[in-house]
Amino acid sequence: MEVSLDQAIEIHAKVLKRVHGRKAPQKARKTADELAIVGDQDGCRVWLKVAESAAAMLSQDHAQA
């Protein structure tokens, strides 16, 4: 089974949310920053999308509560 990049981003966001709760977007942004420092711009962009996805999930959870 092949997983698309969008699916992988969503999976990582869900895992971060589950493990880190409200700090999930912050954790993903930290990973993005670390990747940028070592010159991995593609990885940085992906992890910024993970951060956005995690933030959206948290926002949706808050709106449903």
Q: Is the pLDDT of residue 1 over 90?
A: no
Task: Annotate the chain with three-state secondary structure.
Answer: CCCCHHHHHHHHHHHHHHHHHHHHHHHHHHHHHHHHHCCCHHHHHHHHHHHHHHHHHHHHHHHHC
User: What integer best gives the mean pLDDT of the chain?
Assistant: 96
Q: What would the pLDDT profile of 30-61 be if each residue is shown by its tens digit?
A: 999 999 999 999 999 999 999 999 999 999 88
Per-residue pLDDT, averaged over 7-29, amounts to 98
Q: How far apart are CA 36 and CA 42, in angstroms?
A: 9
pTM of this structure: 0.91
Q: Are 10 and 60 in contact (CB under 8 A)?
A: no
